[in-house]
């Protein structure tokens, strides 16, 4: 039973345009959400996070939106750059455990 | 300076062998984890230690035994390796409920 889902296995966008990666979750006890970026043969690296008490968090070109009623979050990257090409993982946790539940990842390709 | 380092990066071994993967973090975090990424690319937690105490133990065969000699180290021992154990294993660390920092991964191949 997958509690965190990324239904798009891949996404291709043109350099300079917006990339939107989506994530859905089922467990209403999750109160902290994170996005990780992963290059081949490397570990996931933290990108941005959001607490369930907020609906938006922005850091430079990256913005995460949280819609609690829909149990949905999204990562916006604007403008997209070729170096953003990687696998993006959505993750969720219950704050009292620290345990992360990951989605299956979305491979983003940004074309020059 | 590598924040979370794990060794080896690649490990090829025969079925039935016993192997260990080491992990060290220099971030001063109190919680360390082992995650497994299987052939379908799913990342799933296996174990979590907080201040050397086991706090999360997912449904993992008891052939897998984590050992935390101190807060900065969490090693993973695997006995009687099976073909299905082939995967990439990631060590991670965090403050008790904060974002986790991951190591580069250990690709284990059992032949």
Q: Degrees (nearest 5) of the Cα angle B19, B25, B28?
A: 145
- Chain A residue whose CA is closest to B5: A43
Q: What percent of chain A has pLDDT over 70?
A: 100
A32, A43, A95: residue with CB nearest B102: A43
Residue B1: pLDDT band (50, 70, 90) is low
Gap from A112 CA to chain B (nearest CA, Å):
27
Of all residues in chain B, the one with the smallest CA distance to A104 is B42
pLDDT, residue B42, reads: 86
pLDDT digit string, tens, across residues A85-94 = 999 999 999 8
Test the B interface: residue of A5, A43, A51, A107 with most B CBs within 10 Å: A43
- Residue A63: the pLDDT is 98
The pair of three-digit structure tokens given for residue A72, joined into one six-digit string: 């949905």
Using only the alpha carbons of chain A, give its radius of gyration: 13
pLDDT at B97: 67
CA B91 to chain centre: 4
Confidence tier at A56 by pLDDT (50, 70, 90):
very high
Residue A22's contacts (CB-CB under 8 Å, 6 or more residues apart) are A6, A7, A8, A72, A73, A74, A106
Q: How confident is the model at residue B108 (pLDDT cuts 50, 70, 90)?
A: very high
Predicted confidence band of residue B58 (pLDDT cuts 50, 70, 90): confident
Question: For residue A66, is pLDDT > 90?
Answer: yes
Shortest CA gap A62–chain B (Å): 17
């Amino acid at each position: 039973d997958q509690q965190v889902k990324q239904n798009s296995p891949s996404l291709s966008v043109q350099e300079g345009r917006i990339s939107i990666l989506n994530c859905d979750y089922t467990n209403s006890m999750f109160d902290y959400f994170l996005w990780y970026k992963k290059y081949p043969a490397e570990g996931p690296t933290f990108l941005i996070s959001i607490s369930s008490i907020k609906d938006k968090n922005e850091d430079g070109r990256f913005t995460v939106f949280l819609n609690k009623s829909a149990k949905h979050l999204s990562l916006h990257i604007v403008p997209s750059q070729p170096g953003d090409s990687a696998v993006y993982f959505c993750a969720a946790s219950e704050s009292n455990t620290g345990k992360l539940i990951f989605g299956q990842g979305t491979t983003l390709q940004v074309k020059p | 300076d590598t924040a979370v380092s794990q060794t080896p990066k690649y490990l090829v071994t025969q079925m039935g062998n016993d192997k260990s993967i080491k992990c060290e973090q220099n971030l001063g975090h109190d919680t360390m984890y082992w995650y497994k990424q299987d052939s379908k690319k799913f990342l799933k937690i296996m174990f979590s230690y907080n201040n050397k105490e086991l706090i999360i133990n997912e449904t993992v065969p008891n052939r897998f035994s984590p050992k935390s000699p101190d807060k900065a180290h969490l090693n993973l021992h695997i006995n009687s390796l099976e073909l299905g154990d082939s995967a990439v294993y990631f060590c991670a660390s965090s403050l008790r409920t904060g974002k986790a920092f991951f190591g580069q991964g250990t690709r284990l191949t059992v032949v």
